[in-house]
Amino acid sequence: MDNIKKISINAIHPKVLNALHATIAEAKARKMLVGLFCGLRTAEESDHLYQLGRTIPNADGIITNAKAWQSWHNYGLAGDIVFKDEKGRWTWNGMPKCWKDKNGLWTWNKTISNKWNDLGEIGKIFGLEWGGTFVHMKPDFPHFQMIGKMKNTGEAKKMLFSIGIDKIWERI
């Protein structure tokens, strides 16, 4: 299993990167202060983020539920767009409160206008799936992905280790 973590993907898919840049440009045209906080993540980075709030103390608690190869970031197919404050510092302020509904699905009040929802709608214009629409896992408002014909990260992982990243990227 250790050799699995040694596989290195060194880029974000060009279609995904173009859509992220277009989203940021449109958001800035609408007077939103945003930037690309992160894109590609290594397996080691994902495992480290997973441990934050679990085995590694973290004031912000748990950061992610995705271990290595369970995130589209690991395949160069996702990026996080985050707001900046007036001094240019990253800020996650204003994210809607989320809860599980009676069916156990995640939801939030979509009728209240907020900057994260506005940003998500912009990303959708450019073909990105927005993490604010997640219902089987807690919504991830900064997250944008383009997974094309991929079903899930499990399928992507199998493909990565059997036929390579190029074959995954051909499906986008």
Contact present, 60 and 53 (Cβ < 8 Å): yes
In order, the DSSP letters of 97-139 are PEEE-TTS-EEE-TTS--HHHHHHHHHHHTTPEEGGG-SSS--
pLDDT of the residue at 100? 95
CB 94 within 8 A of CB 114: yes
State the pLDDT at residue 61: 87
Domains, the chain: 2-169 (3.30.1380.10)
> What's the mean pLDDT in 111-118?
86
What mean pLDDT is predicted for residues 121-139? 95
Tens digit of pLDDT for each residue in 138-156? 999 999 999 999 999 999 9
Mean pLDDT calculated for residue range 1-16: 68
Angle between helix 115-125 and helix 14-29 axes, rounded to 10 deg: 130
Could you say which DSSP state residue 74 is in?
G
Q: Model confidence over 19-62: pLDDT tens digits? A: 999 999 999 999 999 999 999 999 999 999 999 999 999 988 88
Neighbours of 157 (CB within 10 A): 18
Mean pLDDT (the chain, rounded): 91
Q: At 80, phi and psi to the nearest 5?
A: -110, 125
- pLDDT value of residue 7: 54
